[in-house]
Amino acid sequence: MNRTVLCYLLLSLLIALDACRNPLDGVTIRLKDPLQAGIVDCRLYDPSGNPRPGTTQIILAGPDAGEVVTTLNTRNFKINSDGVLLLAPSPNVLPSAADPVRFTLALETPGYLTVVQPFIIANNNRQGRYMPLISLTRPPESVTPAQLEAGQGGADGALLAGVSLTTRPSLPAVDRAGIALQPGTVCTDREGAAVAGMLTAQLIHTNARTNNPGAQLPGGTILDNVAGFSGGTLPGTMRLQTIAGSLTVTLYNEAYQLVNTLSKPIHLTMELNPVTTNQAKGRIIQVGDSIPLFRYDAQERSWQQVRPGVILRDDVTGRLVLHSDVSKTGAYIAAWTQSVCKLGPVFRVSSKLSNVDVNYFCQLVDAQTNNLISQFYTNVNNGITISIYDQEPGRRYRLRVFDQTDAWGKGTKGGLMGESGVAESCNATPVPINLSELPVPAATKLDFQFSCPAGKALDEASLPSLVKAQYSEVGKENWQDLLTATKTQRSVMSYKIQVGKRYDFRASLDGGATWLLRQNDYLVDKPEWTFKIKSEIYCK
């Protein structure tokens, strides 16, 4: 595949918001429309909440890395202030299932685990990926990472010497985990090609000594379509009930070629919390117990049951340690599971709301005890259904909805607006919930207006193909989507902003990769918010 980089023109536009002041004068705007086909939307975040690192090297590797560009068709890759990196296939290629664009994104950040993420673009659909940036010195609670140039592979992928790596927690009481590979082990990638050269090994260990050990698990705590250890697929959906720990193993070479399969097993070890409950035995774990083990493949987003791990006692430390031999890299979760229903209960909303684009606060409670099961925000327009997933069989619930939104908090009434009748888990028959008392919020007209100097007419074909606008509480930088305008649809009604309140606004002309247009501390003093853009470049 060949790559062509198109230059884009920088023009200065006068942009005026419908207000007494114009803070956006002189903003430079890229005229080139952003690419929209086959977008890869990468969103980086630090699960510990650490400040975003200042320096990250972006590396594209793999067979078609040269065919990947930014949404403005350049090779100037950047992570924006929100931690977003947008990639796209070059407009000169047409990805398909028969001829996909394959590449690997690597992110090298000092003091952090290297991110190595493969991608396949086989159509024009947008794909998104959340990527954790894990600090080696300030990782999330319950997580211990490790990274090391661990060994050399020959041209055939065979290790010239054994490889071992063990996590080293900063506190002695924290559990450790490790891997060991034998000399001569042949390392191959997902296509069966040898992975030669210097290998870097990565470990991410999650222990079970916190109140929420499932918070940092790759793949989450729900297992669906699990491939069975002896073949076939395990029936139904499962939830991780008691988690003993997890260990994610990653191996890659200097070209960021990822190891998938090994000819000799990787020996895994995980120290365990001794008060972990063995759900199969109804007591705490002890030497000789086995623990179910599941592998999560992040690229395929699939689960597989593997041979259970066995608990032994370490002769030196005296700690209980889980031992297992596995043949592939990936995330290994040691846990007991329980069966849950894929769908049900389901609720159907009756309300006065129509096309309201904000979500309302809901609580799912146990119908008998009133104990809170979960809480969330969702749309409650008239006639929609609210589906609840992954609940235990035989449970009975009620749904409560409050006059409180994810956009502006409590409404004019603020309290409980309605409660459903009793609904059963595993039952997809909708149970009605009457929200007739919920008031309809006030709407605001959002508009992008383009105009021309006297004697010229607007050239619709030259208008930007996509303009995105977002809003935030003043000074909070908690940006939320407000409006996506196109050439033909430049005006919408929204319920997200309120008259009499101040907001920060920003707009993007490249699909969200950059946000060049910004207005801070803007008072919405009437039920409309308008960009007025006057320039000859949009005229004929």
pLDDT in tens, 114-128: 999 999 999 999 999
Residue 11 confidence (pLDDT):
32
Residue 534 confidence (pLDDT):
75
The SS3 call for residue 531 is strand
As a whole number, the mean pLDDT across the chain is 90
Could you please state the CATH topology (level 3) that the domain comprising 33-132 is classified under: Immunoglobulin-like (2.60.40)
* Stronger pLDDT, 533 or 481, i.e. the higher one: 481
Q: For 363-406, how does the pLDDT look when each residue is reduced to its tens digit (9 = 90+)? A: 999 999 999 999 999 999 999 999 999 999 999 999 999 999 99
Indicate the class that CATH gives domain 444-538.
mainly beta
pLDDT, average across residues 135-144:
92
Whether 153 has a pLDDT exceeding 50, the answer reads: yes
> What's the CATH code, domain 346-435?
2.60.40
Residue 5 confidence (pLDDT):
25
* Stronger pLDDT, 224 or 203, i.e. the higher one: 203
Q: For 519-531, how does the pLDDT look when each residue is reduced to its tens digit (9 = 90+)? A: 899 999 999 988 7
Q: What pTM does this model have?
A: 0.88
Q: Rounded to 5 degrees, what angle do the CA atoms 426, 428, 434 make?
A: 115
Residue 31 confidence (pLDDT):
52
The residue type of 475 is G
Q: Specify the range with the lowest mean pLDDT, choosing from 211-220, 271-280, 400-409, 411-420.
A: 211-220
The top-scoring range by mean pLDDT among 223-237, 377-391, 489-503 is 377-391
Tell me the residue ranges of DSSP E strands in 191-236: 197-206, 222-223
Q: Provide the pLDDT confidence category of residue 180 given band limits of 50, 70 and 90.
A: very high
Whether 507 has a pLDDT exceeding 90, the answer reads: no
Residue 134 confidence (pLDDT):
96
Q: Provide the pLDDT confidence category of residue 488 given band limits of 50, 70 and 90.
A: confident
Q: How far apart are CA 540 and CA 537, in angstroms?
A: 8
Percent of the chain exceeding pLDDT 70 equals 94
Whether 16 has a pLDDT exceeding 60, the answer reads: no
Contact 72, 8 (CB under 8 A): yes
Percent of the chain exceeding pLDDT 90 equals 73
pLDDT, average across residues 61-87:
94
Contact 217, 144 (CB under 8 A): no
Strand partners, 410: 404
Q: Which two tokens stand for residue 343?
A: 């769908």
As a 3-state breakdown, the chain gives helix, strand, coil percent values, each rounded to 5, of 0, 50, 50
Contact 328, 260 (CB under 8 A): yes
Residue 24 confidence (pLDDT):
38
Burial label, 316 (beta-carbon count in 10 A; 0-12, 13-18, 19+): exposed
Q: Per this entry, what is the length of the chain?
A: 540
pLDDT, average across residues 56-72:
96
CA distances from 195 to 103, 104, 120, 233, 250 (A): 16, 14, 19, 30, 13
Q: For 289-302, how does the pLDDT look when each residue is reduced to its tens digit (9 = 90+)? A: 999 999 999 999 99
